[in-house]
Amino acid sequence: MIPRQRAVRFVWVVFGLLAIVHLSAQLVDRERVADVTQWFLMPVLAGALWLGTGGSAAPGRSRLVVLTLVALGFSWLGDTAPDLADGDLSFLLMVGFFLLAQVAYIAAFAPYGRAEVWGRRRWSTVGYLVAVGFLVLACAPGAGPLLVPALLYGSALGAMAILAAGVNRLVAVGGALFLVSDGMIALGAFADWFSPPVEGFWVMLTYIAAQVLIVLGVQAADRDHQRGSSAPHVLAGNG
């Protein structure tokens, strides 16, 4: 049997290679290569999280880990399902599945960040609220009938980023980058003035970095729990 640490390193190497190929394809506008590699990013990252948690020090994976895996699963659906449709339906599929991913992240992070939203991190909370408000104002004129789902998703995304700050610094930065990535998608879809060069590259770079930092931060929080941390974990599932 392959030792767990060796398997974890192998999965991370595979993920790194996929990410490099995907981002390179975004830079040189190889749409098919970008699409295919994107299909595999989240499953491989979920594999890294699964293999990197649930060790012998704990009888199962924590609630935080399980819900993060659920969020990665919905993120994968958000990455892939839009390829099966066109136009507004494609956009709605992406928003719908990523909304479910944000709900899973909110549920995962809430025990850590709920008490600090207006406490130590009240200024970052205000900053996120301002950022979401700016996105709404910038996108509303061009959103048309998609305004309501975009507002719903933006609210969930902001809540996730706020609560992520309560877990640890890695998850906090990951949540912030997720907001940046999806903010660029929204501006690209609804704001005519937003057209940066190689937009897809920047969207995917921040998205991949966000998910990686969240996974690394969740692994760190899970290790703290296994060492007897007082963080609010609830065990679920079997390792």
**What does the pLDDT look like over 148-159, one tens digit per residue?**
888 899 899 999
pLDDT band at 234 (very low <50, low <70, confident <90, very high): very low
Contact 173/213 with Cβ under 8 angstroms? yes
197-201 own/partner pairs: CB under 8 Å, 24+ apart: 198/26, 198/27, 200/26, 200/34, 201/23, 201/26, 201/27
> Global pTM?
0.88
Query: Which of 60-69, 79-88, 96-105, 141-150 has maximum average pLDDT?
Result: 96-105
Neighbouring residues of 167: CB distance < 8 A, sequence distance ≥ 6: 64, 109, 112, 113, 217, 218, 221
Confidence (pLDDT) at 224 = 82
Confidence (pLDDT) at 238 = 37
Q: Which two tokens stand for residue 6?
A: 């060796």
Contact 40/70 with Cβ under 8 angstroms? no
Q: How confident is the prediction for the chain on average, in pLDDT?
A: 87
Domain residues for the domain of 140 are: 4-236
Sequence letter at residue 27: L
Averaged pLDDT, 66-87: 94
Confidence (pLDDT) at 127 = 83
- The Cα 227–Cα 75 span in angstroms is 30
pLDDT band at 140 (very low <50, low <70, confident <90, very high): confident
Domain count for the chain: 1
Query: Which of 33-42, 118-127, 215-224 has maximum average pLDDT?
Result: 33-42
Residue 136 has pLDDT above 80, yes or no: yes
Q: Which two tokens stand for residue 181?
A: 């990535």
Q: Which two tokens stand for residue 194?
A: 């937003």
**What percent of the chain is modeled with pLDDT above 90?**
56
Averaged pLDDT, 156-180: 93
Residue 81 has pLDDT above 80, yes or no: yes
